[in-house]
Structure 1
Amino acid sequence: MTSSQKNAMVYFFRSFQVCVIFLFFIATPPLFSDVYHIKKGDTLLIAVIGQPEYTHSVQVREDGRINYFGGEFDVAGVTVTKVNHLIREFLVQDNHVSNPVVMVSLVLQKSGVFVGGAVKTPGRYVISPETDIDLYRAIALAGGMAENADRQSVQLIRIDATRKVETYDLSANRPYRDIRVGINDLVFILPLGVIEVQGQVQNPGKLFVRGNIGIRQALARAGGPDQEADLTAIVKVGKDGKLSEFNLSEQFWKSPPNGEPSPSLSDGDVLFVPNVFKVEPIYVTGYVRTPGAQRVRGPLTIARALALAGGFEASANREKVLIHRRDGTTLETSFTFNPAEGEARQMLLYPGDILEVKKKFQVNWGLISTFAYIVISGVGIIIQLTK
């Protein structure tokens, strides 16, 4: 190869290098270098056209500085364009390159924000550094707040040197606030406690509470007892499965005497108000030993209802137990009672509910053998006739 050919090859590769670097930098949004301010942890690619030995990637340290060929630069909080000027001045003043063409670009890494707690789909959501995202948008990425979200306790944890925890109130009646969420920040929404009030109340269902709530207050939030409520035998089912009974007939709207603790409910508890005029049964049907109505004053766990019905039959399907609520809804569950855990995790049955136990699938080998015998006999007859 002649010297002219070698020079042509060198020129070609140098030109190719310039084109590749040029294409790389124009792929970065043009306004990004003038708008985005560099943060700790960012990675910068510094390239010098025609000088591949000076092309280097550096990461911004926790002190906000980078090291480039022995030079220290404070880059946190400045734009990419400013870093470009700093690097060029350094190369000229230290006689590294006489007239350098410097290009500095931010390496876009897969970074994101983590949203957890009482949201519909908690997880990590990838965003790029140029993404303009606020706290509301971050929560929306996770599907929005869950039913039990405490809107007054939305925490934003800054993942930087400060590790600052900020708490915001995002209640519906609060005005909008422009709260910016940074790369790798953590958004956590505290969950409210959930209790249930069932039976003879105006608005039975779930209540969302912070900490404990008094039984009187829980009944008041459920609309109060209706005309058929029996306040002499209110049943509390703790999340540990323990049943307690209270008589609030006379002092329902009164405060307890001084020194007397007020009965309260906490997360996972159920409060049931029975009917004063009638005792509605809980029905246990299907493949149990003694199906029928079980007359009780309050709720039962599935295990206790099955015990009153004599337990499962041998052909019962423990993996498919149906609960038909008195309001017409049907729930499907499985009976996985573990004596070591007790009954705390079981669903409750209320007066008027129906527990239905299905039959498990069983192979009828007698029918299969009969069918096989008929088929084989038929094939034998056909073979005999064709001879």
Structure 2
Amino acid sequence: MQARWSILLLSFLALAAAGARQPAAAESATHYYIWGEVKNPGAYPHRGDLTVADAITAAGGFTDVANRNRATLTRGERQLILSREDLTQTGADGVAVMAGDVIRIETGAITVAGEVRKPGDYGLEHASVRQALIAAGGPTPQADLDSAYIARGGKVIRVDARQILAGAAGVENPALEPGDVLHVPKAEARVTIAGEVRRPGPYTLEPGKLERLEDLIAAAGGPTANARTTRVELRRARRAGERATVETINLEGPRADELQRNPVLQSGDHVVVPAARRGRSLSINDVYQIGILVLTLISILARN
């Protein structure tokens, strides 16, 4: 008898559990879900032409700390990564939402990457370029602050990080949004060459390769016919703010002194190939003056 009651009790519990699950299954067939950093997260009735952007609007929009550049949409066993465009586009261009979909809006963070001392994610209390760079320990010696940029979704926003860090007057210190990536690239090793070469200008040194003066001149198309290769100038700044040293190099010097004749280049070097000296040609005015002088001498001699 007791066994029969136990079986009946178990059957009742099973039916109750099935009944409890049924509304959830029915709801998932007619609703979608949006969680995370929206103002009114929860389950919402589905309609046929719904997009992710519509769903966010229906949930009251983003919170102040929402990541507006990235979210996830779970559909069955698949998970889709949503971009900034996916979160904002409506109509035919938007990402369609199906019944049962789960949209999750993540909490935003600011990422500082590249040539900073402590790259990583930082909270929204560091929501400007200057604050974020300071929080990340500042730039490394290899940082190219003039080429820093903010990656925001599919957009790249250039920033003058050097002037911003210096607190220069009149320079905008842009606000950062959740999900932004502030990237400080590594500076390229550059040298310049001017004067009597075929292609003067800036050149980038190849990383890990010892490039010499003759390599640079060859890359610049070689010296012109008017080049004075015995007096090539190599100008090199030892440290930032110091005056450059100037070394005069004879490219036609003895091969035995290779290091002095063909030195290894360093980032920031400036090479000048001067023009060869030539005798000064006579102008029309010079000829006229000489003629006057000759006539004057003839006149003096004739009087005597």
Shorter-normalised TM range: 0.3 to 0.5
Structure showing the higher strand proportion among its residues: 1
Q: Greater relative contact order (Cα 8 A, min sep 6): structure 1 or 2?
A: 2
Higher helix share: 2
TM-score when scaled to structure 2? 0.36
